[in-house]
Amino acid sequence: MTITTDIINADRTLQPPLYAKREVVLARGEGATLWDSEGNAFIDMMSNYGVNVLGHAHPAVTEAIARQAGLLVSCHQSFVSDIRAQFLETLIGLAPDGMTRAFLSNSGTEAIEAALKFARVATGRDGIVATRGGYHGRTIGALAATAEKKYREPFASVLAPATHVPFNNLDALEAAVNSTTAAVILEPIQGEGGIVVPDDDYLAGARHIASAAGAMLILDEVQTAFRTGTFFACEPSGIVPDLLCTAKGLANGVPIGATLMTEEVAGVLGGGVHGSTFGGNPLACAAGLATIDAIRAEGLLERSVALGERLRGG
Strand 41-43 and strand 33-36: the pairing is antiparallel
Q: Is 297 left (phi over 0), alpha (psi -120 to 50) or beta?
A: alpha
Q: Range(s) for CATH 3.40.640.10 in the chain?
A: 61-293
Q: Is 268 left (phi over 0), alpha (psi -120 to 50) or beta?
A: alpha
Q: How far is CA 244 from the centre of its chain?
A: 9
Sheet holding 127-131, edge to edge: 99-105, 257-262, 243-246, 216-220, 181-186, 127-131, 162-165
CB 28 within 8 A of CB 34: yes
Q: 61-293 sits in which CATH class?
A: alpha beta
Distance in angstroms (rounded) separating the CA atoms of residues 289 and 230: 17
Residues ≥6 apart with Cβ < 8 Å to 253:
48, 51, 52, 56, 61, 287
Q: What is the pLDDT of residue 275?
A: 92
How does DSSP classify residue 73? Answer: S
- DSSP string across 140-201: HHHHHH---HHHHGGGGGGSPPEEEE-TT-HHHHHHH--TTEEEEEE-SSBTTTTSB---TT
Collapsing DSSP states into helix, strand and coil, what is residue 101? strand
CB 162 within 8 A of CB 129: yes
User: For the chain, what is the radius of gyration of the CA atoms?
Assistant: 20
Average pLDDT along the chain, 314 residues, taken 10 residues at a time: 83 92 93 96 94 97 99 96 98 98 98 98 98 98 96 95 98 99 98 95 99 99 96 98 98 98 96 94 99 98 93 85
Q: How far is CA 97 from the centre of its chain?
A: 20
End-to-end CA distance of the chain: 45
Give pTM, 2 decimals: 0.96
Residue 14: count of CB within 10 angstroms of its CB: 7
Q: Give the Cα-Cα-Cα angle 173, 179, 181 (nearest 5 degrees).
A: 55
